[in-house]
Chain A
Amino acid sequence: MLNALVHLPLVLPPVVTGWLLLIIFGIRGPIGSLLNEWFGVRLVFTTAGAAVACAVMTFPVMVRAVRLALETADPGLEQAARTLGAGRLDRLFNVTLPLASPGILVGGIVAYATCLGEFGAVITFAANIPGQTQTLPLAIYAALQVPGGEAKAAELSLVSLTLALIGLLLSEWIGKRLNIMLGR
C-alpha cells in the first residue's frame, strides 16, 4: 500500500499529481489548512510549493535507487559485523549505508536533474510565476507563447540540455569513483 502510494507519481499524469497536491496542501485542504494555521506556511503558488511538487514527483526515483542499493548489499558483511559485536543501528550506519552510498548518491543526482525538468505538477500546484515557481520547462513553454520568443526558448533549452548532461555525467563519474574506492 505504502509502496503503491510512493510510486503513484511515477504512473499518474503529473497534472493529476499537482491537482491532488492542490487539494491536500491547499489553504482549505486537510494538511494545507493545518500548516497555515499552526505555522503560517502557505505552499500553494510559492517557491516552497514548487519544491514540494518536485520532491513528490522525484520521490519514487529516489526510493528505487535507495532500495536497489540496499538490496544489492552483501548480507555476508552484515553477518560478519554482527559477530564482531555491531548492533542493528551500528551495522546500518557503519556497514550497510556506506556500502550503499554510491547507489544512493547517483539516485539523488538523477532525481535532482529530473526535478529541474518538472512541468505538470508544478504548474498545477505552484503555478508559473517567473522568479518564484517557474521551472526551466515552464519558462521555455512561456517563451514559446510569446511571439518572437523562439530565441529565448532555444537559449533555455540549451541550458536545460547542458544541466541534464552534467547531471548524468556527474552521477556516472561519482558512481564509478565510489565503486573503485569500494573495490568493485
Chain B
Amino acid sequence: MKSALLARSSIRFYRSHPWQLTLAIAGIALGVAVFVGIELANDSARRAFEASSVAASEQTTHRLLPTGGALSESDYRALKRDRRYVASAPVIEAPITLNLPDGPRLEMTLEGIDFIEEAAVRGLGGLLIGGGDPIRLLTEPGTLLLPDTLAARFGIASGDTLTLRAGANEFPVVVIGTIDDQRDLAPRLVTDIATAQEIAGMRGLLSRIDLRLDDASAESLAANLPVGSVLVPAAAEDQILRELTRAFNTNLTALGLLALVVGMFLIYSTISFTIVQRWRAIAVLRAIGLDRRELLTTLLGEALAIGVVGTLLGLWLGRELSEGLLELVLRTLDDLYFRRALGASDASNWIYALSAALGIGATLVSALIPALMASRREITSATRSRVERGAQVLAHRFAWAALPTAGCAVVILLLADRGLWQAFVALFLVLVAGAMLIPLATHALMRLIERPIAALAGLPGRMAVRGVIDSLSRTGVATAALTVAVATVMSIGLMIASFRVSLIEWIDTTITADLYVDIDPDSDRDIETALAEIDALPDVVGISRMRMTRIETPSGGLDLRAAAAGPEGYGVDVTAPESVSAEQALANDRGVLVSEPLAYRLNLNPGDGIDLPTATGLERFEVAGIYRDYNTAGAQLIMSLDSFRRWFDDDGLSSVGIHVSPGTDESTITAAIRQSLGTNNRARIRSTSFIRDISLVIFDRTFQVTEVMRLLAAIVAFLGIFSALMALQLERERDFAVLRSLGMSVRQLFGQNLAQTGLLGLTAGLAAIPLGTALAWLLVHVINLRSFGWSMDFIVSADAVLAGVAMAIAAALLAGIYPALVGARADMGLAWHDD
C-alpha cells in the first residue's frame, strides 16, 4: 500500500515534469548507445579477426619457413618420409595482380595448396568453400577459387576466365567456385599447388610448410631443421596483429565508457534536480513518518525505472549506431594494420547484457549521491540557501578528495608500467580528479571575475556571476560535465595533433629520397647496371638501396629492412640512445636497429641481443639502437645492406631511393629512370610527395572513428549541460519573476541568463586546458606507448586548445539559449506567493 502510494506519487511527479524525465532517459540512452555501438562494432571486427586466424591456423601447430627466398620441395619430401612429420602440407604464397574484365587491377595473394595433404593438417576448415567443387582444382590445371565477395562485387561466375599477372607474365585462369571470405583474414585466390608454382615461377620451391606437431616432434624438428629454414609456432605470426587489434579496441571501448560517464553526469544532474524540486513534498513525507531507508528506496526505485527505460532505448540506438561505426572500425583496422580486407561477423549477445548492466548500474550510481543526500538531510533544512551552503562544503571536500584520486592514478601507472587497462584506469582517475576540482574552481574563478564583470556590466553582470556561485549545486555539476567532455575532446585533439606533427616529421626524416622505385624482380635488365646508369644521370645526386624481407624468429614474424645509406644517410630517427646515429649503430656487422613497437613488445633496450634466423642458422645480433617507426605498427628492424647480404645470402633489392638535385623536373627524371630500367620493366615509381600525401590521407582516415566518438561524447555533454541549465532556470523562476516585476525586460533577463551560461562555458573551457593537457600527455606518453609501442613528441597545439575553449563556450551558449528564454519568460505571478 505504502509502496504503491509512493510509486504513484513518483509517477505523477514525472508525468507533470516531462522535461526532466526526457532528459534523464536521453542521458542514459545516449551513454549506453555510444558504448553499445562501439562494443558491437569492436566485437564484430574482433570476432572476424579471431575467426579468420583460427581458420587459417586450425589444427596447424607450426610452420616451417624459409629464412630467405623459398624452401625446396625436396625438403618437404624428406620431411614427409619421417613418420613424425607426416601431418604436413606444402603452401605457395605469391603476390599476383588480378586483371578483372572491365574492372580494376587488384593486387592480391595467390595461395597454392595441396588439397590432399592439407586435409591432414588443417582439414579444409581454413578454407570455407562457398560454391564449386574444389576437387576440380586437382584435375583441371589453371583453375581457381575466388573470394565470394569479390565474385559478387564484380559479377564473376563459375566458368569465367580471368587473367593473373605475376612479374612480367600473364596467365589465363578459369574460376570454378568461390571461398567464403567473411571469415578470412586475407582474401586470397586459391588454387592447386602445381598451378600456383607455375604462375609464381616457383617450380620445385615452396613458400612454407604447415605442420601439425606434438611437443616432442616439434623439438626434434627444431633440432634438425633443413638448411635455410626456421620453425615457428603457428600462433606467433598473428600475435602482433592480435595485440594491436586489442589495443585499438581497448582505446575505442574507453571512449565508449567515457560517453557513459558523461551520461552519468546527466543522470546525476536530473535526479538531483527532481529531488530539489520535490524537497518540500519529501520533507512532508519524512515528517509524517517515512524513514530514510524508505525514502532512499523510493528514489532509487525511480532511478531504476528510468535506467531500465533509458538502457533499453540505448541498446536499440546502439545497435543502429554500430552499423555505421563498424564500417569505420574495419576500415581503420584495414588501413592501419592488416592492409587487407576484413569482413564483419555477427556480434555477441553478451554485449547487450553487459551494456544493460552498465546502463542500469550507471543510473543507480548516479542517482545514489543525490538520493543519499536527500535521505540524510534534516527535515527542517529545506531552504535553498542551506542546500547551496551544503554544496559549497561538498565542493571543498571534492577538491580535497581530488588529490588522493590523482595520487592513485600515479601509483597505478608506476605499479603496472606496461598494462593498458591499468593505464586507462589511471586516465579515468585523472579525469575524475579533474572533475572533482571543478566546482571549487568554478567558485574561485567567479570570485575572481566578479569585480571586473560588475565594473563592466553593473549589477546585472554581478548577478550573473553570483548566480553561478549561489547555485553551485547545479552549476558545479554542469561545469564539471562540460569540462570532462571538453577536456576529453581537447586531449584527443592534442594527441592527434601531436601524432600528426610527429608523423610528418617522421616522414620527412625517413623519406629522404625524392623518388622511390619498387624493383621488378622479373625484369630482364640487370638491376645494378640499370642503377649505375641512373646514378650517372646529371640530375641524380645519389641512390639509396633497400631490401625488405619477412623473417620468422622464435618470437614471431618480423619485417627486416636492410638498407644502404643514401646521400642523406639512412633516414632513420633514432630515439635511443640519443647520442647514437643510425650510421654509427649500423657500422657494426651484428648491429641492428629495432623499431619502437618491436622494442616495446619484446622489452628490448640498446645493448640487448636478438636472435635472427640467418642463412647459417640462428645468430645473435646486438640492438644498437631503437628508432621511431609508424610504418606498420608491427615489428621491424633495420640492418645495413652489406651485413644483410653477408648473413642472409640474399643479393636482391626491393626498392631504391633516387636523390635528385633541387628543381629537377619530376616527369623528366621519371622518364629517364624508366628508360634506364628497361622498356619492359614494370617498376612502380612513386614521388616523395605522393607517399607523404597518401600517408596523411590514411592517417586522417584512421582517426575518423575517433572523430565520430568525439562528436558523440560532445552531444552527450551538450545534453548534460542543457539539462543542468534547464534545471537551474526552472529552479530560479521565482527570482526571475521578481526581477521582471522590478522592471527587468525579457531581453535583459535573457541576456543575463545567457551571460551566466557563457561564464559556465568559459569556466569549463579554461578548466579543460590543464585537464585536457594532462590527459593528452597520458594518451601520448602512456596509452599510445602501451597500445602500439609508438613514441611521439608531445605538442600542445594552440589550435586544439582554443578549439576546446571555443567549443565549451559555444556548447554552453547553445545549450543555454532555450533555458535562458524559459527563465526570462518566467510567470511574474510566481513572485507573489510561495510554492
Is B a genuine binding partner of A? no
Binding site for B on A (CB under 8 A): none
